[in-house]
Structure 1
Amino acid sequence: MAILLAFFAGGLIAVQAGINSQLGIMLRNPMFATVVAFVMSALVSSVAIAFMAPAWPTKSLIKTIPLFLWFGGVLSAVGVGLFYYLIPKMGVGSMMSFALTGQLLLSVLISHYGLFGLPQIAITPIKLAGIVSMIAGLILLNR
Protein backbone atom coordinates (compact mmCIF):
# COMPACT_ATOMS: atom_id res chain seq x y z
CA MET A 1 0.00 0.00 0.00
CA ALA A 2 2.83 2.42 0.84
CA ILE A 3 4.36 1.94 -2.61
CA LEU A 4 1.06 2.74 -4.33
CA LEU A 5 0.64 5.83 -2.18
CA ALA A 6 4.20 6.90 -3.06
CA PHE A 7 3.44 6.59 -6.78
CA PHE A 8 0.19 8.52 -6.25
CA ALA A 9 2.06 11.26 -4.35
CA GLY A 10 4.58 11.53 -7.19
CA GLY A 11 1.76 11.86 -9.70
CA LEU A 12 0.13 14.58 -7.60
CA ILE A 13 3.40 16.50 -7.52
CA ALA A 14 3.70 16.36 -11.32
CA VAL A 15 0.11 17.56 -11.80
CA GLN A 16 0.35 20.36 -9.21
CA ALA A 17 3.66 21.52 -10.68
CA GLY A 18 2.11 21.78 -14.14
CA ILE A 19 -1.01 23.55 -12.87
CA ASN A 20 0.88 25.97 -10.65
CA SER A 21 3.47 26.81 -13.31
CA GLN A 22 0.55 27.84 -15.55
CA LEU A 23 -0.83 29.89 -12.66
CA GLY A 24 2.58 31.59 -12.40
CA ILE A 25 2.46 32.43 -16.12
CA MET A 26 -1.04 33.86 -15.81
CA LEU A 27 -0.08 35.86 -12.70
CA ARG A 28 3.09 36.97 -14.55
CA ASN A 29 5.38 35.80 -11.75
CA PRO A 30 6.12 32.25 -10.56
CA MET A 31 6.59 33.47 -6.98
CA PHE A 32 2.92 34.54 -6.85
CA ALA A 33 1.99 30.97 -7.75
CA THR A 34 4.36 29.77 -5.02
CA VAL A 35 2.58 31.94 -2.45
CA VAL A 36 -0.82 30.65 -3.62
CA ALA A 37 0.43 27.06 -3.39
CA PHE A 38 1.73 27.51 0.15
CA VAL A 39 -1.39 29.37 1.35
CA MET A 40 -3.58 26.59 -0.06
CA SER A 41 -1.29 23.96 1.49
CA ALA A 42 -1.51 25.71 4.86
CA LEU A 43 -5.31 25.83 4.65
CA VAL A 44 -5.66 22.16 3.71
CA SER A 45 -3.14 21.12 6.37
CA SER A 46 -4.96 23.19 9.00
CA VAL A 47 -8.28 21.54 8.15
CA ALA A 48 -6.63 18.10 8.31
CA ILE A 49 -5.16 18.89 11.74
CA ALA A 50 -8.58 20.07 12.94
CA PHE A 51 -10.17 16.77 11.91
CA MET A 52 -7.34 14.62 13.28
CA ALA A 53 -7.29 16.49 16.61
CA PRO A 54 -3.66 15.58 17.38
CA ALA A 55 -2.01 16.54 20.63
CA TRP A 56 -0.31 19.89 20.19
CA PRO A 57 3.45 20.02 20.77
CA THR A 58 4.39 21.48 24.13
CA LYS A 59 6.59 24.53 24.57
CA SER A 60 9.28 22.36 26.15
CA LEU A 61 9.23 20.00 23.16
CA ILE A 62 9.48 22.90 20.72
CA LYS A 63 12.55 24.21 22.57
CA THR A 64 14.37 20.89 22.01
CA ILE A 65 14.02 20.97 18.23
CA PRO A 66 17.27 22.01 16.47
CA LEU A 67 17.01 25.45 14.87
CA PHE A 68 17.90 24.25 11.36
CA LEU A 69 14.81 21.99 11.28
CA TRP A 70 12.56 25.07 11.24
CA PHE A 71 13.98 26.24 7.90
CA GLY A 72 12.83 23.41 5.62
CA GLY A 73 10.10 25.74 4.37
CA VAL A 74 12.76 28.07 2.95
CA LEU A 75 14.09 25.19 0.84
CA SER A 76 10.53 24.33 -0.18
CA ALA A 77 9.79 27.89 -1.28
CA VAL A 78 12.97 28.10 -3.36
CA GLY A 79 12.48 24.62 -4.86
CA VAL A 80 8.80 25.12 -5.64
CA GLY A 81 9.44 28.59 -7.06
CA LEU A 82 12.13 27.14 -9.33
CA PHE A 83 9.71 24.44 -10.50
CA TYR A 84 7.12 27.03 -11.48
CA TYR A 85 9.76 29.17 -13.17
CA LEU A 86 11.44 26.35 -15.11
CA ILE A 87 8.46 24.20 -16.22
CA PRO A 88 7.28 26.73 -18.84
CA LYS A 89 10.84 26.86 -20.20
CA MET A 90 11.68 23.12 -20.08
CA GLY A 91 8.34 21.33 -20.02
CA VAL A 92 7.00 19.36 -17.08
CA GLY A 93 8.55 16.06 -18.22
CA SER A 94 12.08 17.42 -18.52
CA MET A 95 11.81 19.41 -15.32
CA MET A 96 10.49 16.44 -13.36
CA SER A 97 13.19 14.13 -14.75
CA PHE A 98 15.99 16.51 -13.72
CA ALA A 99 14.34 17.21 -10.36
CA LEU A 100 13.84 13.51 -9.59
CA THR A 101 17.43 12.74 -10.52
CA GLY A 102 18.64 15.55 -8.26
CA GLN A 103 16.41 14.27 -5.45
CA LEU A 104 17.68 10.72 -5.90
CA LEU A 105 21.35 11.71 -5.90
CA LEU A 106 21.05 13.93 -2.84
CA SER A 107 18.79 11.53 -0.94
CA VAL A 108 21.27 8.67 -1.43
CA LEU A 109 24.06 10.87 -0.05
CA ILE A 110 21.89 12.03 2.87
CA SER A 111 21.09 8.41 3.69
CA HIS A 112 24.68 7.25 3.26
CA TYR A 113 25.96 9.77 5.79
CA GLY A 114 22.87 9.72 8.04
CA LEU A 115 22.47 13.48 7.79
CA PHE A 116 19.77 15.39 9.71
CA GLY A 117 19.46 12.55 12.23
CA LEU A 118 18.05 10.18 9.59
CA PRO A 119 18.92 6.47 9.43
CA GLN A 120 22.32 5.76 7.91
CA ILE A 121 21.98 3.47 4.88
CA ALA A 122 25.17 2.74 2.95
CA ILE A 123 25.51 3.23 -0.79
CA THR A 124 25.87 -0.26 -2.29
CA PRO A 125 26.98 -1.36 -5.76
CA ILE A 126 23.33 -2.10 -6.60
CA LYS A 127 22.33 1.42 -5.53
CA LEU A 128 25.15 2.83 -7.68
CA ALA A 129 23.80 0.82 -10.63
CA GLY A 130 20.37 2.31 -9.94
CA ILE A 131 21.82 5.82 -9.91
CA VAL A 132 23.63 5.19 -13.20
CA SER A 133 20.38 3.83 -14.67
CA MET A 134 18.49 6.91 -13.50
CA ILE A 135 21.07 9.20 -15.11
CA ALA A 136 20.87 7.14 -18.33
CA GLY A 137 17.09 7.51 -18.21
CA LEU A 138 17.48 11.26 -17.70
CA ILE A 139 19.65 11.47 -20.80
CA LEU A 140 17.23 9.38 -22.87
CA LEU A 141 14.18 11.33 -21.70
CA ASN A 142 15.75 14.64 -22.64
CA ARG A 143 17.08 13.85 -26.13
Structure 2
Amino acid sequence: MNIFALLAFLAGTTIAVQMAMNAQLGSALKSPMLASVCAFFSAVVVTALAVVFTVRDYPSINTVKTVPVYLWFTGGLLSALAISMFYYLIPRMGLGAMISFALSGQLLVAVLCGHFGWFDVPQKPVNFPKLMGVAALISGVVLINSEH
Protein backbone atom coordinates (compact mmCIF):
# COMPACT_ATOMS: atom_id res chain seq x y z
CA MET A 1 0.00 0.00 0.00
CA ASN A 2 1.50 3.34 -0.98
CA ILE A 3 1.43 6.44 1.23
CA PHE A 4 -1.47 8.03 -0.69
CA ALA A 5 -3.62 4.91 -0.29
CA LEU A 6 -2.77 4.82 3.41
CA LEU A 7 -3.66 8.51 3.84
CA ALA A 8 -6.94 7.98 1.96
CA PHE A 9 -7.73 5.00 4.20
CA LEU A 10 -6.99 7.06 7.32
CA ALA A 11 -9.14 9.92 5.99
CA GLY A 12 -11.98 7.45 5.62
CA THR A 13 -11.57 6.27 9.20
CA THR A 14 -11.70 9.83 10.50
CA ILE A 15 -14.86 10.49 8.48
CA ALA A 16 -16.57 7.46 10.04
CA VAL A 17 -15.58 8.51 13.57
CA GLN A 18 -16.62 12.16 13.08
CA MET A 19 -19.94 11.06 11.58
CA ALA A 20 -20.70 8.88 14.57
CA MET A 21 -19.69 11.58 17.05
CA ASN A 22 -21.60 14.36 15.29
CA ALA A 23 -24.68 12.15 14.87
CA GLN A 24 -24.49 11.62 18.63
CA LEU A 25 -24.23 15.40 19.06
CA GLY A 26 -27.25 15.85 16.78
CA SER A 27 -29.25 13.36 18.86
CA ALA A 28 -28.21 15.03 22.12
CA LEU A 29 -29.17 18.46 20.74
CA LYS A 30 -32.27 17.01 19.04
CA SER A 31 -31.17 18.69 15.81
CA PRO A 32 -28.92 17.20 13.10
CA MET A 33 -28.81 20.67 11.53
CA LEU A 34 -27.41 22.20 14.73
CA ALA A 35 -24.81 19.43 14.87
CA SER A 36 -23.89 20.33 11.28
CA VAL A 37 -23.46 23.98 12.25
CA CYS A 38 -21.17 22.96 15.12
CA ALA A 39 -19.17 20.65 12.86
CA PHE A 40 -18.76 23.24 10.12
CA PHE A 41 -17.92 26.02 12.58
CA SER A 42 -15.15 23.98 14.19
CA ALA A 43 -13.95 22.92 10.72
CA VAL A 44 -13.76 26.57 9.61
CA VAL A 45 -11.76 27.52 12.71
CA VAL A 46 -9.29 24.63 12.35
CA THR A 47 -8.91 25.10 8.60
CA ALA A 48 -8.45 28.87 8.92
CA LEU A 49 -5.69 28.30 11.46
CA ALA A 50 -4.05 25.74 9.17
CA VAL A 51 -4.18 28.25 6.29
CA VAL A 52 -2.69 31.02 8.42
CA PHE A 53 0.22 28.81 9.49
CA THR A 54 0.89 26.90 6.25
CA VAL A 55 -0.09 28.92 3.15
CA ARG A 56 2.68 31.22 2.00
CA ASP A 57 1.53 32.12 -1.48
CA TYR A 58 -2.04 33.42 -1.71
CA PRO A 59 -3.74 33.79 -5.11
CA SER A 60 -3.82 37.20 -6.72
CA ILE A 61 -7.07 39.14 -6.94
CA ASN A 62 -7.03 38.52 -10.70
CA THR A 63 -6.85 34.77 -10.11
CA VAL A 64 -9.70 34.96 -7.60
CA LYS A 65 -11.83 36.88 -10.12
CA THR A 66 -11.42 34.11 -12.72
CA VAL A 67 -13.02 31.47 -10.49
CA PRO A 68 -16.62 30.81 -11.58
CA VAL A 69 -19.19 31.89 -8.98
CA TYR A 70 -20.70 28.39 -8.68
CA LEU A 71 -17.36 26.97 -7.50
CA TRP A 72 -17.38 29.26 -4.44
CA PHE A 73 -20.66 27.88 -3.11
CA THR A 74 -21.72 24.58 -4.67
CA GLY A 75 -19.23 22.42 -2.79
CA GLY A 76 -20.26 23.93 0.54
CA LEU A 77 -23.95 23.52 -0.25
CA LEU A 78 -23.47 19.88 -1.21
CA SER A 79 -21.34 19.27 1.89
CA ALA A 80 -23.96 20.81 4.16
CA LEU A 81 -26.70 18.73 2.56
CA ALA A 82 -24.74 15.48 2.74
CA ILE A 83 -23.41 15.98 6.26
CA SER A 84 -26.82 16.97 7.61
CA MET A 85 -28.38 13.90 5.97
CA PHE A 86 -25.67 11.69 7.48
CA TYR A 87 -26.30 13.05 10.98
CA TYR A 88 -30.04 12.52 10.49
CA LEU A 89 -29.69 8.98 9.07
CA ILE A 90 -27.05 7.46 11.37
CA PRO A 91 -29.30 7.23 14.46
CA ARG A 92 -32.08 5.78 12.29
CA MET A 93 -30.23 3.19 10.21
CA GLY A 94 -26.86 2.74 11.93
CA LEU A 95 -23.37 3.87 10.99
CA GLY A 96 -22.41 0.79 8.95
CA ALA A 97 -25.56 0.80 6.84
CA MET A 98 -25.45 4.53 6.25
CA ILE A 99 -21.78 4.53 5.28
CA SER A 100 -22.16 1.47 3.04
CA PHE A 101 -24.89 3.20 1.03
CA ALA A 102 -23.06 6.54 1.07
CA LEU A 103 -19.80 4.98 -0.11
CA SER A 104 -21.69 3.15 -2.85
CA GLY A 105 -23.09 6.44 -4.10
CA GLN A 106 -19.67 8.07 -3.88
CA LEU A 107 -17.95 5.27 -5.76
CA LEU A 108 -20.56 5.06 -8.51
CA VAL A 109 -20.39 8.81 -9.12
CA ALA A 110 -16.58 8.69 -8.93
CA VAL A 111 -16.44 5.97 -11.60
CA LEU A 112 -18.76 8.00 -13.85
CA CYS A 113 -16.76 11.19 -13.27
CA GLY A 114 -13.55 9.35 -14.10
CA HIS A 115 -15.01 7.70 -17.18
CA PHE A 116 -16.31 10.96 -18.64
CA GLY A 117 -13.68 13.30 -17.14
CA TRP A 118 -16.33 15.41 -15.40
CA PHE A 119 -15.14 18.25 -13.13
CA ASP A 120 -11.64 18.12 -14.65
CA VAL A 121 -10.75 14.81 -12.98
CA PRO A 122 -8.31 12.55 -14.84
CA GLN A 123 -10.19 10.45 -17.37
CA LYS A 124 -10.12 6.73 -16.50
CA PRO A 125 -12.40 4.72 -18.81
CA VAL A 126 -14.70 2.09 -17.31
CA ASN A 127 -13.48 -1.40 -18.11
CA PHE A 128 -14.49 -4.93 -17.15
CA PRO A 129 -12.47 -5.06 -13.90
CA LYS A 130 -14.04 -1.76 -12.77
CA LEU A 131 -17.51 -3.07 -13.58
CA MET A 132 -16.74 -6.20 -11.55
CA GLY A 133 -15.58 -3.97 -8.69
CA VAL A 134 -18.84 -2.02 -8.80
CA ALA A 135 -20.77 -5.31 -8.81
CA ALA A 136 -18.72 -6.52 -5.83
CA LEU A 137 -19.42 -3.26 -4.03
CA ILE A 138 -23.17 -3.57 -4.59
CA SER A 139 -23.00 -7.20 -3.43
CA GLY A 140 -21.11 -6.08 -0.35
CA VAL A 141 -23.70 -3.43 0.47
CA VAL A 142 -26.46 -6.05 0.15
CA LEU A 143 -24.54 -8.41 2.47
CA ILE A 144 -23.71 -5.68 4.99
CA ASN A 145 -27.35 -4.67 5.18
CA SER A 146 -28.92 -8.14 5.17
CA GLU A 147 -30.75 -9.06 8.34
CA HIS A 148 -29.70 -12.72 8.29
Taking structure 1 as the reference length, what is the TM-score of the superposition?
0.97
1:141 and 2:137 matched: no
2:15 is matched with which residue: 13, 16, 33?
Answer: 13
**Is 1:54 paired with 2:60?**
no
1:24-45 residue CA offsets vs partner (Å, 9 max, x unmatched): 0111110000011100100110
In 1, Cα distance between the equivalents of 2:68 and 2:121? 14
Q: CA offsets, 1:26-76, max 9 Å, x none?
A: 111100000111001001101111111331221110111122222200000
**Residue from 66, 73, 78 that aligns with 2:76:** 73
1:105 deviates by 0.3
Matched, 1:115 2:118: yes
Deviation (angstroms), 1:111: 1.0
User: What corresponds to 2:35 in structure 1?
Assistant: 33
Q: Distance in 2 between matches of 1:142 and 1:50?
A: 44
* Identity value in percent: 47
**Residue-pair matches, total:** 143
Q: Does 1:89 align with 2:128?
A: no
Matched residue SS, 1:132: helix
Dislocated runs of 4+, deviation >2 Å: none
